[in-house]
Structure 1
Amino acid sequence: MHSRLLKAKGFPPDGNQASCCLSSYFFALKSVQVSADQSETTLGSKLEALQCHFTWILEYSKNKLLHLRDKLVDIGTEEGNSWLGHIYNLRGFIQCKLGSTEDALSFFLQAAEAFGQMRRAGEGPWLVVNYGNLAWLHHLLGDQAESEAYLSKVEAIKKKYPTPSEDELHAELYAEKAWTLMNFGTKGELVSEYFQKAIQMQPDMVEWNTSHVLCSNSWLEDDILEKIRLAQEQDPENLRLAVYYLEERVRKGEIIEDEARQLARKVLRNPVSSYSGLKGLLRIYRNHLSIDEAVDLAEEALQHHPDERYLKRCAALYYNRLIYSSHSRPEQRTLDRAISLLKEVIFLYPHCSLMKKVDLANIHAKSNHSKDEAEQIYQELLKSEMEPAEKQLLYNNYAKYSKCDRREYQRAIRYHMKVATIPHQSSFRRNSIKILVEVVERHRDSMWREVEEFLENLKEP
């Protein structure tokens, strides 16, 4: 066998010389394998050392990624959006994690183009995260040469734009990391810290300062009004910031009704985006003007842009709040409009529609001519595969629906118990446990002793 192998490789087949050649061949083969393994290890360590979405600690599930993808789409890609490169970068990462590498590559390339347009320059620190993402993507696709090429680009940028110390990142990286973590719902302290570092290094970057202020915990900051005012001086055209300033002023006791209505005119003239300030403005209208005016504002926005899904989502939300804020039974036309909007929203946001389906079921339950559809929607949802947190949301709402709309009190209690047994801390679990405690304390329901025993044996997650 060895002779045949040697002959095939061009070695002489005779005696000691053949044996020596064979040993040399296998040694060389082993060396090549070791070299390849070392090369792979080196590439892996270089990739792990990158600052990009693939190496940052981002907590997510598939549902969270789908929800975040919708959120990014609703921000929009209007030209001039200062976060456009970051949006494309994050969308690329999300698509990769969802299994669509082709879309991921497209978004990463769009991110590079957007950064170039926004920074009015070629390669620079703003591309480090993007090139890192591309290095990872090509590595995952098996194209190690292209991955190495992007790693080299990252190294070249780092040499050209060094930071004061190896432990520090460039301002652009701090800003993108802060913005990304903010969108993943990371604790505000870390997000704020990264934004602050970026701003200290490059105080002229207006959008960083604006985002830092917008993500601040206003309840913990006594000087928040002054911070917002200074941010507004730097970024006077940012209506989202203007709305936030209005919200904080009214929280401090100022009268702002006329200003809110004037600001609404400006918001309605701007392109549709979840960054437009409309969401905050609707909140101001609901809390400090009236829920009816909030609904009217949402409808007016829809009249200007009837096909915008984000506006339909806003309108559906405030119709829902209008229905539940009324002490009397809502008019049928209000219920019909809410049902119509919710059906559209569920169609337009197919991956993030659980709460909307629950809302739809609950509104059907109040309608004169579609009560049966409520139970049908709930039964379909109860058969669906869901994560623990989603089950708690569903069971809690189904329990309340069973009690209030079906008068099936024991079924309601059973579903509150189901919520409590799911080992996941949430507001729905706390609410169901509170309701079960009330059942025991009031002694009105025949199940109260069973519930009491259940609560005594209930274990905390």
Structure 2
Amino acid sequence: MSSHQGTNLKARLLQLECHFTWGLRKNDTDLTYLLTRLEEQLNLNLGGEIGLARTYNYMGFVKFLLGSNTEALSYFERSVELTKSHGNDCEKLFVVAYGDLAWLHYHMDHFTECESYLNKLSEIKEKYPIIPYAKVLGEKGWTFLKFSRKYYHMAKVCFSDALKLDPDDSEWNAALAIVLHRTEPKFEDTPNSNAIDQLRRAIDTNPDDDVLKLYLAIRLLGQKEYKEAESLVEKALERSPEHPHVLRYVGQYFRYQGIVDRSIALLTKTLEKVSSKAFIHHQLAHCYKKKITNLKKSGRQHLESGEILHAQEQCIYHLETAVKLNPCFVIAISELALQYGESGNVHKAEQTFQDAFEAAKIKRDNYHPVLLRYAEFQQYCMRCEPAALKHYIECLKINPNSYEGKRCAENLEKIAKRRIENNPQDGEAFGILGIIHKEKGEKQQAIKYFEEALSYVDNEDYLGDLCELRLSLQ
């Protein structure tokens, strides 16, 4: 093939809507773990034939990213076979699958086959001038949603646009509800929740989706709508008592309710039913961490010391298992490091935190949760307040509105107020309060605290922040 023909093929390929043109970067996710999750979807037979076809298509692209072109080809072809079995009107659903096949053949230097699929796409476009673009948007959205949380915003845009074209589609309503549930802050921080409204709409169009009911039940805890939440959990368990995703989120619901032992029992049962076990082990670790907190709060530590030790051991065991199963599980690595610190193994904790920072750097994600936990490690395990302050402030500045940012602001405020109570002329403590308000966008309060700080200490950073804030208000 001449270079001109190759250029022409590439130009046509770049116009396609498929996995190869959606800007997915393999360094943004753990491909092996993603493949495991997709295989679990196949085992659960989610989404009917079209849903399975979409999963096979996605798996084909992941295999391509992993360098297994032959396996990728078999998955793409399996996707086409499943779509064909859907019925006579299936041809227009091949937009993404044929696009993927064209791209794969191009990368394999099968230029004749590549051109053949490009021609098939041209024929579909001629035959169906109005391609079901909502389907393409939906598949694109699911791809973003499953690939990495860094792509959640793009998934939300895709599902919202799909619903503009087809407002009553049950799948896109469910998909938008899922992405809103994942992107909103934790349920206790959202008294006004867009996710709740969308989950209700999604359940209206998907009355048999028990996982959606559990998402809504968890969200309703933030509204203190306990009766409705409990009713939803009961219905989901009654209808799907063995479904691993239902058991997973029921377990999460009971943990949020403080019913930790029941959550542990359900999550342990779920371990027997799923292939992607790292997430479940991480959830079990959260349960044991909650159990440790509850035991310490009971005021009977001298009586409960054996149980606390057992819970600590179980927490570390499940985190170690999660990390072993998914070595790029940044959140689990940083939590494991913190647990090592709390159990007294500070050398191992420090080493594991460095692993967490390195994993976050490689994935280019989850850096600020690692910073938060490292700051907590410095504060509570190492008793090194200066290092804790440094990392809390760094984390706060990344995103003050995130869960981690809010936690950092709370911890910084506690430290500052304690220091001011002990020493009303502690300029650094007033400076910390200034930084908190500055990052939150509360300029007048920030100016007040920086002025107070500078009346007690000479600090170029505080002076620079103060000048910047005054200029911004002019």
TM-score, normalized by length of structure 2?
0.70
- Aligned pair partner of 1:242 in 213, 220, 230: 213
Q: Hey, what does 1:172 align to over in structure 2?
A: 135
1:111/1:433 Cα in 2 relative to 1: closer, same or farther (>3 Å)?
same
1:317/1:72 Cα in 2 relative to 1: closer, same or farther (>3 Å)?
farther
1:315 aligns with 2:284: yes
Q: Hey, what does 1:283 align to over in structure 2?
A: 252
The structure that has the greater radius of gyration is 1
Equivalent AA in structure 1 for residue 370 of structure 2? L
For residue 132 of structure 1, report the CA deviation from its aligned partner.
0.1
- Aligned pair partner of 1:219 in 193, 218, 225: 193
Q: Hey, what does 2:428 align to over in structure 1?
A: 448
1:140 aligns with 2:116: no
RMSD in angstroms over aligned alpha carbons?
4.1
1:426/1:366 Cα in 2 relative to 1: closer, same or farther (>3 Å)?
same
Contact 1:392 1:422 in 2 (8 A): yes
For residue 360 of structure 1, report the CA deviation from its aligned partner.
1.5
1:363 aligns with 2:339: yes
> What whole-Å deviation, never above 9, does each CA across 1:323-373 have from its counterpart, x for those lacking one?
34554366211122222221211111122x2211221222233337x5653
SS of aligned partner of 2:17: coil
Contact 2:60 2:73 in 1 (8 A): yes
Q: 1:53-202 to 2 correspondence within 5 Å?
A: 53-56=19-22, 58=23, 60=25, 62-64=27-29, 66=31, 68-69=34-35, 71-79=37-45, 81-82=47-48, 83-117=51-85, 119-120=86-87, 124-163=91-130, 169-183=132-146, 184-187=151-154, 190-197=157-164, 199=166
1:312/1:378 Cα in 2 relative to 1: closer, same or farther (>3 Å)?
closer
For residue 225 of structure 1, report the CA deviation from its aligned partner.
6.7
For residue 221 of structure 1, report the CA deviation from its aligned partner.
7.4
TM-score, normalized by length of structure 1?
0.72
SS of aligned partner of 1:54: helix
In 1: Cα distance, 2:348 partner to 2:259 partner:
31
For residue 206 of structure 1, report the CA deviation from its aligned partner.
5.0
In 2: Cα distance, 1:284 partner to 1:401 partner:
28
Q: Hey, what does 2:387 align to over in structure 1?
A: 411
Contact 1:182 1:191 in 2 (8 A): no
Contact 1:70 1:349 in 2 (8 A): no
Contact 1:175 1:198 in 2 (8 A): no
Q: Hey, what does 2:233 align to over in structure 1?
A: 260
For residue 108 of structure 1, report the CA deviation from its aligned partner.
2.1
1:384/1:187 Cα in 2 relative to 1: closer, same or farther (>3 Å)?
closer
> What whole-Å deviation, never above 9, does each CA across 1:424-450 have from its counterpart, x for those lacking one?
996546655665576566356999389
Query: Any gaps of 5 or more consecutive residues in structure 2?
Result: 182-191, 302-306, 433-458, 470-474
Q: Hey, what does 2:313 align to over in structure 1?
A: 336
Contact 2:333 2:355 in 1 (8 A): no
For residue 412 of structure 1, report the CA deviation from its aligned partner.
2.5
For residue 282 of structure 1, report the CA deviation from its aligned partner.
2.7
Contact 1:93 1:133 in 2 (8 A): yes
1:231/1:245 Cα in 2 relative to 1: closer, same or farther (>3 Å)?
farther
> What whole-Å deviation, never above 9, does each CA across 1:82-140 have from its counterpart, x for those lacking one?
322222222333343454434433432332233334x2459612221011011112212
1:354 aligns with 2:330: yes
For residue 216 of structure 1, report the CA deviation from its aligned partner.
5.5
The alignment covers a number of residue pairs equal to 408
In 1: Cα distance, 2:274 partner to 2:145 partner:
29
SS of aligned partner of 1:129: helix
Contact 2:278 2:325 in 1 (8 A): yes
Bigger helix fraction: 2
- Aligned pair partner of 2:205 in 225, 231, 249: 231
In 2: Cα distance, 1:312 partner to 1:408 partner:
31
For residue 151 of structure 1, report the CA deviation from its aligned partner.
0.7
Q: Hey, what does 2:448 align to over in structure 1?
A: none
